[in-house]
A and B are shown apart, each in its own frame.
Chain A
Amino acid sequence: MSRSLLIAAILLLAGLLAGGPSVAEDARARKRVLHVDSYHRGNEWNDRIADAVVAGLKAADVDVQVVHMDTKRNPGPEFGRRAALEVAALIARWRPDVVTTSDDAAAEFLIAPHLKDVELPIVFCGLNWDASAYGLPFTNVTGMVEVSPIPQIVELLRVHAKGGRIGYLAEDSPTKRKELEHHERIFGIRYDKVWLAADFAAWREGFLAAQSEVDMLVILGVANVRGWDDAAAAALAERSTRIPTGTDFEWLMHVAMMGVAKSPEEQGRWAARAALRILNGVPPGAIPVAYNTEAKLYFNPKIAARLAVDRAPPMAELVR
Chain B
Amino acid sequence: MSEPSSAGDAAAGAAATTRRRRSLVGGTLWRVAIRISCVVAIASIASYLHVRASLEGQTLEQLKVLASERRERESAVFDLADERLAAFAQAVEARLTAPADGSALADFERLFERRPDGTRRLSAGFFERTGITGIVSRSTIVEEAVARRLIALIEVLEVHGPAWQARLRNLFVVTPENAILMYWPGKPWALQASDWELYGKLAAALGRPGEVVVVGEGGGPAGVTRWSEPYLDYGAREWVVSATRGVDVDGRRVATLGQDLLLEELFQRTAARAADGTYGMIMAADGRLIAHPDYMLAIRAQSRAIDARASGDDRLLRAVGLLATASSGDLVVDRAGGEVLAFSRLAGPGWWLVGAFPEAIIERRAALTARWVLLVGVVALLVELAILWVVLRRQVAAPLTALVDATGAVAAGRFDVPLPVAREDELGGLARSFGVMAGEIEARETALAERGRSLAAANLQLEGELEERRRIQAELERQLELRALLDTIDYGVLITGPDRRVRMHNRAYREMIGMPVALLATSPTLDELARYGLEHGFLAPQPDDGSRYLEELGQLIERGDGEPHEWRLASGRVLRRRIVALPDGGRLLTYVDLTAQKRIEADLRTAKEAAEQASRAKSAFLANVSHEFRTPLNAITGYSELMLEEAADGAGAKLRPDLERVRDAGRHLLALINDILDLSKIEAGRIDVAVRPCRIEPVLEACVTTVGPMVGAGVTLHGTAAAHLPEIAADPDRVGQILVNLLSNAAKFTEAGTIEVRTSAGDGWVRVAVVDTGIGIPEELHETVFEEFRQVAVTGGRRRQGTGLGLAIARRLARLMGGDVTLASCPGTGSTFTLVIPAIDT
Contact = CB atoms under 8 A, between A and B. Distances in A.
A316 B298 CA distance: 7
A168 B197 CA distance: 23
Contact of A314 (B117, B176, B234, B295): B295
Contact of A288 (B138, B213, B306): B213
Interface in A266-315: 266, 269-270, 273-274, 277, 282, 285-291, 293-297, 313-315
Interface stretch (A37-45, A73-81, A180-188, A215-223): A180-188
Interface string A48-74: 000000000000000000000000000
Contacts, number: 127
B209 A294 contact: yes
Interface string A145-174: 101010110011001000000000000000
A149 B234 CA distance: 10
Contacts of A213: none
Contacts of B118: 135
A132 B117 contact: yes
A287 B213 contact: yes
Contacts of A137: 137-139, 195
Nearest to A265: B210
Interface residues on B, range: 35 or more
A237 interface: no
Nearest to B316: A314
B200 A290 contact: yes
Contacts of A294: 209-210, 302-304
Interface string B107-146: 0000000000110000000000000000001111000000
Contacts of B298: 297, 313-316
Given A270-B210, A274-B212, A286-B178, A131 B297 contact: no
A269 to B, nearest CB: 6
Nearest to A275: B212
B237 interface: yes
B232 interface: yes
Majority SS at the chain A contact face: mixed
Interface residues of A, number: 43
Contact of B234 (A186, A313, A316): A186
Given A188-B237, A313-B298, A315-B298, A293 B231 contact: yes
B452 to A, nearest CB: 97
B634 interface: no
A290 B199 contact: yes
A288 B209 contact: no
A260 B301 contact: yes
A315 B311 contact: yes
B570 to A, nearest CB: 138
B297 A147 contact: no
B139 A289 contact: no
B215 to A, nearest CB: 5
Given A288-B200, A288-B203, A314 B212 contact: no
B209 A152 contact: no
A139 interface: yes
Nearest to B215: A286
A277 B297 contact: no
Nearest to B202: A288
B194 A132 contact: yes
Contact of B303 (A130, A270, A293): A293
A287 B212 contact: yes
B479 to A, nearest CB: 113
Nearest to A155: B300
Contacts of B237: 151, 187-188
Given A187-B237, A288-B178, A314-B294, A145 B212 contact: no
A290 B304 contact: no
Interface in B198-242: 199-200, 202-204, 209-216, 231-232, 234, 237
B179 to A, nearest CB: 11
Contacts of B651: none
B115 to A, nearest CB: 10
B192 A185 contact: yes
A303 B272 CA distance: 29
Closest 5 CB pairs of A and B: A288-B199, A290-B203, A291-B200, A315-B298, A139-B139
Interface of B: 117-118, 137-140, 176, 178, 192-197, 199-200, 202-204, 209-216, 231-232, 234, 237, 294-295, 297-298, 300-304, 306, 310-311, 313
10 contacts: A130-B196, A186-B234, A285-B137, A286-B216, A287-B215, A289-B196, A291-B234, A293-B304, A297-B301, A315-B306
Given A151-B237, A260-B302, A297-B298, 10 more contacts: A132-B117, A132-B196, A138-B138, A138-B139, A147-B234, A186-B197, A270-B212, A294-B302, A296-B301, A297-B297
